[in-house]
Each structure stands twice: as structure tokens, then as C-alpha cells.
């Protein structure tokens, strides 16, 4: 296929308030500011990303496309495929529910980002999310699904309660560089701006740029190796049978 198609990055977690929209919006704007036409598909009926980006002087665009109903999935996917032809990156901001939007995103995405704070309640939702993602990755017939957990609301210095260390122990999967706790994200939202426009070169902006680099690297990486699920009996293998 010689047609140019955007890379699709889905941002999801089965728990609300983990920082999905914050990551989706700021990552999209960082990519767009780096010269890559980028659009956020707002798949959450709460429309946080839409409220953040629509009509603002920000580099990324937004398309509100909540998907609550499996019957609407084919049309939603067709629309997204069309949008891919006109962008370099498509970022899907997902709702915190198991449903049609997550299922569709897992069919299409090249990379799933799963933001989580180190709190126990976020981490248990993150584990459930990772199980879904692993299953989707195994079932994928077209393309490959990479996934990365994004540690968010990480405290440093005096305030550090070992959150990142705890998170690394509880989540045995690849992590991006952490996004620290910063009130600048909420202030940028209130100002109708992204972090790089509101507080350029701030630590929060640097964190988003590091996340962008990690996402780009993951998209270029070779397909993830399938997990060895079951050990096949030696006799089956000797006979050259695969199932």
C-alpha cells in the first residue's frame, strides 16, 4: 500500500481520571508542534478533549466521535480510516469503559498508551486494561499492537513516596518515561492551551516531549514477540503440527 496513513495511538485505561485526556491532548499537540499533522479522536462522551481543543489556538485538531454502540462500529472505523489519510498521527482519547470504543481502538491502534498513577486503585484498573490489550494483541490479524504504560502524577524530591518504584513492581510491562504531578496541566486546560503553549520548557512540557519520543520509538520498534502461552507437547512438535 503506497497510500500515506497516520499511525494510530490509543490512550486508554478502564479507570476514569487517570490522565488519559491530559496525555492524549498534550501528546497530540506536541506531535503537531513538531510538524506532524495530528488529530485527536474524542471517543469519550464526556468530551474532555473536544472542550480542550475545539476553537483554540492549539496545533492539533479534534474530532468528536463517541462510540457507545457496537452497531455503529463499522461506520466509526470507516471514518477513522478516512481521517488517517489526512494526518500523520491519530490519537484516540478513550472512555474508561469496556465497550465498542475500546474494542475498535484495539483493532486499529499501532500503539496503546495506558496512563496510570501509582495509587492502588489505578494500578488494579491498569492490570485489567493490560489483560484486555494482551488479548487484543494476540487476536490481531492486521498490523501489530504495541503497548506502553505511562506513569502519571509522579511525585519527585521531598514528596516522593516511592510511587514510581511501587508502580514498576506492580506493573511488569514496558513503561514510558514518567509524567510528573503538575498543576500546570489543569491550568493549561483552563487557559484553553496545551502545556507547550502555556508553559514552554516547564518540567511538565519536558515530560510530554519525552513521552512523545518514547511513543515514536515504540512505533518504529519491531512487532512485539508473541507470549509463549502454552508449552506444546513434544510429540506434537515432533510431528510438525502447529495446533
Note the residues at the interface with ligand ADP (CB under 6 A).
16-22, 48, 152-153, 179, 181-182, 185-186, 189
Phi-psi category of residue 201: left, alpha or beta, with phi > 0 → left and psi -120 to 50 → alpha: left
Residue with Cβ nearer ligand ADP (144 or 206) = 206
**Among 188, 118, 120, 124, which Cα is nearest to 150's?**
118
Residue 184: count of CB within 10 angstroms of its CB: 17
64 near Mg ion (CB under 5 A): no
Question: What span, in angstroms and rounded, lies between the C-alpha atoms of 40 and 136?
Answer: 22
Residue with Cβ nearer ligand ADP (16 or 143) = 16
User: 25: which residues sit within 8 A by CB, 6+ positions away?
Assistant: 40, 48, 49, 52, 53, 60, 93, 189, 194
Question: What span, in angstroms and rounded, lies between the C-alpha atoms of 215 and 58?
Answer: 21
Residue 91: count of CB within 10 angstroms of its CB: 32
CB of residue 18 to ligand ADP, shortest distance in Å: 4
From the list Mg ion, ligand ADP, none, partner contacted by residue 152 (C-beta under 5 to 8 A by kind): ligand ADP
20 near Mg ion (CB under 5 A): yes
Q: Residues 34-63: x/- map of binding to Mg ion (CB under 5 A)?
A: --------------x---------------
21 near Mg ion (CB under 5 A): yes
159-188: contacts with Mg ion (CB under 5 A): none
Return residues touching Mg ion (CB under 5 A).
Answer: 20-21, 48
Amino acid at each position: 500500500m503506497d497510500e500515506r496513513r497516520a499511525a494510530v495511538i490509543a490512550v486508554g485505561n478502564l479507570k476514569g481520571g487517570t490522565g488519559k485526556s491530559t496525555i492524549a491532548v498534550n501528546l497530540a499537540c506536541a506531535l503537531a508542534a513538531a510538524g506532524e499533522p495530528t488529530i485527536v479522536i474524542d471517543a469519550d462522551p464526556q468530551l474532555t478533549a473536544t472542550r480542550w481543543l475545539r476553537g483554540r489556538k492549539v496545533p492539533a485538531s479534534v474530532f468528536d466521535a463517541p462510540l457507545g454502540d457496537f452497531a455503529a462500529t463499522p461506520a466509526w472505523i470507516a471514518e477513522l480510516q478516512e481521517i488517517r489519510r489526512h494526518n500523520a498521527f491519530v490519537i484516540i482519547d478513550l472512555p474508561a469503559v469496556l465497550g465498542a470504543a475500546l474494542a475498535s481502538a484495539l483493532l486499529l491502534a499501532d500503539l496503546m498508551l495506558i496512563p496510570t498513577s501509582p495509587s492502588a486503585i489505578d494500578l488494579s484498573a491498569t492490570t485489567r486494561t493490560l489483560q484486555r490489550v494482551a488479548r487484543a494483541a494476540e487476536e490481531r490479524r492486521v498490523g501489530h499492537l504495541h503497548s506502553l504504560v505511562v506513569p502519571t502524577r509522579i511525585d519527585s524530591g521531598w514528596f516522593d513516596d516511592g510511587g514510581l518504584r511501587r508502580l514498576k513492581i506492580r506493573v511488569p510491562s514496558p513503561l514510558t518515561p514518567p509524567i510528573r504531578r503538575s498543576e500546570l496541566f489543569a491550568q493549561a486546560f483552563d487557559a484553553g492551551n496545551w502545556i507547550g503553549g502555556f508553559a514552554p520548557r516547564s518540567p511538565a512540557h519536558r515530560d510530554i516531549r519525552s513521552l512523545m519520543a518514547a511513543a515514536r520509538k515504540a512505533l518504529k520498534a519491531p512487532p512485539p514477540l508473541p507470549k509463549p502461552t502454552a508449552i506444546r507437547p513434544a510429540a506434537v512438535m515432533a510431528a510438525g503440527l502447529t495446533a
